[in-house]
Amino acid sequence: MSKQQTMLVSEEELLRQEEFSHRVKEILEMRYGDHMPVAHVHSYGCQQNVSDGEKIKGMLARMGYGFSESTADADLVIYNTCAVRENAEDRVFGNVGALKHNKQRRRGMVIGLCGCMMQQEHIVHRLQKSFPYVDLIFGTHVLHRLPELLYQTLSTRERVFETPDSDGVIAEHLPIQRDGSLKAWVPIMYGCNNFCTYCIVPYVRGRERSRTSREILAEVEQLVLDGYKEITLLGQNVNSYGKGLEEEINFSGLLRKINSLDGDFRIRFMTSHPKDATPELIDTIAECEKVCHHLHLPVQSGSDRILREMNRHYDTESYLELIRYARQRIPDISFTSDIIVGFPGETREDFLQTMDLIRQVRYDSLFTFIYSKRVGTKAASMDDPTPAEDKTKWLMELLEEQKRIGEQQLQRYVGDTMRVLADGPGKAGEGYLTGRTEQNLIVDFPASEELIGSFVEVTITKALNWALLGEINTSHR
């Protein structure tokens, strides 16, 4: 049996979970009668967590739950947590604390916590000790067992904790209740093997494991038939896709297969690790008409010394070389990135090298963070002498420079006609719709709501500091 097969949750196990779904439904019918119980599910953090949250809602719907955007009237609350930064964890603890009063008011209410935080022993210990009203805790590797775990919670009225350490599994064909009808998340792989020194993800998500292209293509094909217009492929490092599979395929090969499917839709993906991003990937983007001309390529730092300390396995010159090649092959490509400010041991000189890098690349936008210490990572034990005030000042300096660059980048699109997926009401004023271009830029334009869900050609008339304004180009319709 191949390594890939041992990671797959068996059909027998999935059927077993379906049986637990029926048992939960019977319990709910006895307790609530004709009144449908209500669940509130909130996912913190990355798009992979949002995708997991859609599966949680899919399983709950099969068990007989309806859904609410509020915790106030919820019979079940599930927080799907994120462990990437400390402030995300603090928000979870604060929100869980607030649920104590809800539970006192609503007899029989169930509170569940899952996701990446729940794979950390010290977090689970704190929850066990300080939050006795939390009923259910389960980790990332047993998401597919939610029906069984919820059945245990409801039938025994005892606290249930299931957070096994694991290299990870793949559970196909779970029910999904998607948050939208135009854009869909499709995980192509799970886990991470990179072990960047600041990152907790490999410890809470397990090792890299890829879904077969057959399963991915079937999911995308059905989404397109269902009317979805934008498919975003997800992975901690999509460029590692295919490793360990029996079939000979890499990420570029997968993109080409999806691109060949029938239908009017477009393809996005995230996230690309720079160490594995190659000219082949750039060529694939250039040659596949459905793949968007946008690349999120997290650089984290412009200092080669800090990149080595981060265990990133590339340097700034190789990063810039890829950027240059991409702009040569795809002139209208846009770039976004992640930057960590104040990594342990980072000096002012290191930071200024990051500033120099963003001036060279000229990103359309950045996601910037002050370093957050994560228990269990290598960086957590590194000396960190730089005062927090200095890190904050550096971040403000970076944000100001990127604001200037970003505004200049937006100006270059004025006069261009761009294909936009209209996805909702705009912020520019009454009668405006909003959407995104292939370059992932926000565009507001006056139009009827009847166009929501359609691709439209928009000529850009003005650049704001946060988005573009435009008019529908009727000659392209």
The CATH number assigned to the domain holding 443 equals: 2.40.50.140
Same domain, 199 and 254: yes
The CATH number assigned to the domain holding 194 equals: 3.30.750.210
Query: What contacts 19, CB < 8 A, 6 or more positions away?
Result: none
Residue 34, domain member (yes or no):
yes
**Quick one: pLDDT band at residue 215, thresholds 50, 70, 90?**
very high
**Quick one: pLDDT band at residue 39, thresholds 50, 70, 90?**
very high
pLDDT per position as a tens digit, 95-121: 999 999 999 888 889 999 999 999 999
pLDDT per position as a tens digit, 231-276: 999 999 999 999 999 999 999 999 999 999 999 999 999 999 999 9
The pLDDT score that the predictor gives to residue 273 is 96
The CATH number assigned to the domain holding 142 equals: 3.40.50.2300
For the segment 301-325, the average pLDDT, to the nearest whole number, is: 98
Secondary structure string (H, E, C) spanning the chain: CCHHHHHECCHHHHHHHHHHHHHHHHHHHHHHCCCCCEEEEEECCCHHHHHHHHHHHHHHHHHCCEECCCCCCCCEEEEEECCCCHHHHHHHHHHHHHHHHHHHHCCCCEEEEEEHHHHCHHHHHHHHHHCCCCCEEECHHHHHHHHHHHHHHHHHCCCEEECCCCCCCECCCCCCCCCCCCEEEEECEECCCCCCCCCCHHHHHCCCEECCHHHHHHHHHHHHHCCCCEEEEECCCHHHCCCCCCCCCCHHHHHHHHHCCCCCCEEEEECCCCCCCCHHHHHHHHHCCCECCEEECCCECCCHHHHHHHCCCCCHHHHHHHHHHHHHHCCCCEEEEEEEECCCCCCHHHHHHHHHHHHHHCCCEEEEEECCCCCCCHHHHCCCCCCHHHHHHHHHHHHHHHHHHHHHHHHCCCCCEEEEEEEEECCCCCCEEEEEECCCCEEEEECCHHHCCCEEEEEEEEECCCCEEEEECHHHC
Residue 174, domain member (yes or no):
no
Same domain, 13 and 78: yes
The CATH number assigned to the domain holding 356 equals: 3.30.750.200
> Among 242, 272, 292, which residue terminates a domain?
292
Residue 134, domain member (yes or no):
yes
- In which domain, by residue range, is 263 found? 180-292
The pLDDT score that the predictor gives to residue 7 is 87
Residue 171, domain member (yes or no):
no
Same domain, 20 and 148: yes
Same domain, 73 and 198: no
Same domain, 61 and 110: yes
What is the residue-averaged pLDDT of the chain? 95
Q: What is the chain's Cα-based Rg?
A: 23
The pLDDT score that the predictor gives to residue 145 is 98
Query: What contacts 116, CB < 8 A, 6 or more positions away?
Result: 45, 49, 81, 82, 83, 84, 140, 200, 201, 204, 205
For the segment 281-306, the average pLDDT, to the nearest whole number, is: 98
Residue 140, domain member (yes or no):
yes
Residue 240, domain member (yes or no):
yes
> Among 243, 266, 292, which residue terminates a domain?
292
| Sign of the alpha-carbon torsion through 119, 379, 370, 441 | negative
Same domain, 245 and 387: no
Q: How far apart are CA 56 and CA 436, in angstroms?
A: 28
Same domain, 32 and 124: yes
Same domain, 68 and 35: yes
Same domain, 428 and 331: no
> Among 292, 325, 358, which residue terminates a domain?
292
At position 77, the amino acid (one-letter code) is V
Q: Omega of the bond prior to 197 within 30 degrees of 0, cis? A: no
Residue 12, domain member (yes or no):
yes
| Sign of the alpha-carbon torsion through 96, 99, 101, 106 | negative
Same domain, 309 and 287: no
The pLDDT score that the predictor gives to residue 107 is 82
The pLDDT score that the predictor gives to residue 5 is 55
Number of domains making up the chain: 4
Query: What contacts 364, CB < 8 A, 6 or more positions away?
Result: 334, 335, 336, 406, 409, 410, 439, 440, 441
Which is nearest to 423 in space by CA: 433, 410, 412? Answer: 433
Residue 167, domain member (yes or no):
no
**Quick one: pLDDT band at residue 1, thresholds 50, 70, 90?**
very low
Same domain, 276 and 233: yes
The pLDDT score that the predictor gives to residue 465 is 84
Same domain, 235 and 272: yes
pLDDT at 448 > cutoff 80: yes
